[in-house]
Amino acid sequence: MELLDRLADPLALGCLFLLLAFLSVSIRGRKWLAILLGLIFAGFYGLGISPVTSFLLTPLEGRYPTLERPPEGIGAIVVLTGGEAWGRERPITSDLSEVSLERLVEAIRLWRLSGGRTRILFVGGIGAPGRRAEAPLVARAALALGVPPEAVDWESSSRNTYENALAVKGILGKERFVLVTSAFHMPRAMWVFQRLGMAPVPAPCGQEGQDTYTPYDYIPQAINLWHSAHALREYLALLWYRIRYR
Give the C-alpha separation, 79 to 177, whole Å: 10
**Could you give the angle at the alpha carbon of 83 between the alpha carbons of 189 and 74, nearest 5°?**
45
Domains and CATH numbers, the chain: 2-61+220-244 (no CATH), 76-205 (3.40.50.620)
| Residue 200 confidence (pLDDT) | 96
Q: Mean pLDDT over residues 99-107, rounded? A: 96
Q: How many CB atoms lie within 10 A of CB 155?
A: 22
Q: How far is CA 177 from the centre of its chain?
A: 21
Q: How many CB atoms lie within 10 A of CB 6?
A: 16
Give the C-alpha separation, 104 to 135, whole Å: 10
| Residue 84 confidence (pLDDT) | 83
Judged by average pLDDT, the poorest of 76-80, 126-130, 158-162, 191-195 is 126-130
End-to-end Cα separation, the chain, in angstroms: 51
Q: Which residue has the higher pLDDT, 26 or 178?
A: 178
pTM over 0.75: yes
* CA dihedral for 107, 59, 52, 82, sign (positive or negative): positive
Instruction: Tell me the three state secondary structure of residue 198.
Output: coil
**Could you give the angle at the alpha carbon of 98 between the alpha carbons of 72 and 144, nearest 5°?**
65
* CA dihedral for 44, 49, 52, 54, sign (positive or negative): positive
List pLDDT tens digits, range 3-22.
888 888 999 999 999 999 98
Nearest to 74 by CA among 103, 106, 100, 113: 113
Spatial contact of 10 and 43, defined as CB atoms under 8 Å apart: no
Q: How many CB atoms lie within 10 A of CB 215?
A: 7
Q: Which residue has the higher pLDDT, 211 or 121?
A: 121
Nearest to 76 by CA among 147, 175, 166: 175
pLDDT of 211 higher than 80: yes
Give the C-alpha separation, 196 to 192, whole Å: 6
List pLDDT tens digits, range 129-164.
778 889 999 999 999 999 999 999 999 999 999 999
